[in-house]
Amino acid sequence: MTPESAHLDLAPDVQLALRQGQPVVALESTIISHGMPYPDNVATARRVEAEVRRHGAVPATIAVVEGRLTAGLSEAQIEALGRAGPAVAKVSRRDLPYIVATGRTGATTVAATMIIAAMAGIRVFATGGIGGVHRGATQTFDISADLQELARTSVAVVCAGAKSILDLGLTLEYLETQGVPVLGYQTDQLPAFFTRDSGFGVDHRLESAADIAAMLKVKWDLGLDGGVVVANPIPEAHAMNRSDIDRAIEQALADARARGVTGKETTPFLLERVNAITGGSSLAANIELVLNNARLASAIAVALAAPGSMG
């Protein structure tokens, strides 16, 4: 037993799948507690797990439960995280040792989920949107720890790009500096979460899950540790009107400035404001894009697990 595995609990089906080299997809929990309102958050988490199963992989929703790093939450654990909502600690890399040492429960961000997934041996992770460089970061220095994690931890993160609550141009610059490939799945454009096009391009375009899996294998075979952003645009039918979402985001940013919101509260505050201002329409889009990411992540995990693929 390695020192870290003493802190790690795997659900039986996750453990079995990993032992047999079967595909597993990691899922995060901050999206449940801080990214969507109850009870849609719990319903969505369940649907995402079912979607992963339907596409041939085992879902592992990740959180810290009473001090245990947990990959593969039970239904009751998901319900508890969703019901508690923002009262649950939001756990990124810097928070993990405190939460574990004190036996607390926390919802893991993309960064912390990547860490636990990598410990467990899970290489593919589906979420909604990643954190990034915030607007105004030249003054605030507010850069999500997700980006640094992508630089160091070898997990592919399938997302719908990032919300334009962030400075997407600076986010791409940061990822370039850190050597993190940003792949477009069947697109040349970086998607902006609710919309298919942010006005920025991706580094490389790939057409299939198998091609993405092949590139991941080469990256890691070459010893190029670190993550990859797989940007998967929201399905056309569910994409939002750009000017509606832009207006909501501007309003949310103004509200955050007026209230002096800083630090780890910034992202949850902005997510909650955007949800509130746009009402049900953004929530519906959010749910659809996460399901879409779960499907692609499952296909990538299946391709990676194919005989001869990961050696």
Distance set, CA 209 to CA 47, 62, 304 (Å): 21, 23, 9
Question: Does residue 198 touch ligand PSU according to CB under 6 A?
Answer: no
Q: How far is the CB of 3 from ligand PSU (least distance, A)?
A: 25
The interface partner of residue 163, options being Mn ion, ligand PSU, none and the CB cut-off 5 to 8 Å by kind, is ligand PSU
Residue 217 annotated to the active site = no
Distance set, CA 297 to CA 64, 167, 177, 218 (Å): 22, 25, 25, 18
Report the sign of the C-alpha dihedral through residues 65, 50, 278, 170, in that order: positive
Of 110 and 300, CB closest to Mn ion = 110
- Return d(Cα 99, Cα 36) in angstroms, integer: 22
How big is the CA angle at 141 (ends 134 and 170), to the nearest 5 degrees?
Answer: 45
Binding string, 230-269, against ligand PSU, x = CB under 6 A? Answer: ----------------------------------x--x--
Residue 28 annotated to the active site = yes
Binding string, 118-147, against Mn ion, x = CB under 5 A? Answer: ------------------------x-----
Restricting to residues 211-230, name those near ligand PSU by CB under 6 A.
none
Question: Does residue 145 touch ligand PSU according to CB under 6 A?
Answer: yes
Q: Which of 194, 268, 272, 267 is nearest to 234 (CA)?
A: 194
The residue type found at 46 is: R
Residues that bind ligand PSU (CB under 6 A): 28, 30-31, 34-35, 92, 109-110, 128-129, 131, 144-146, 163, 193, 264, 267, 271
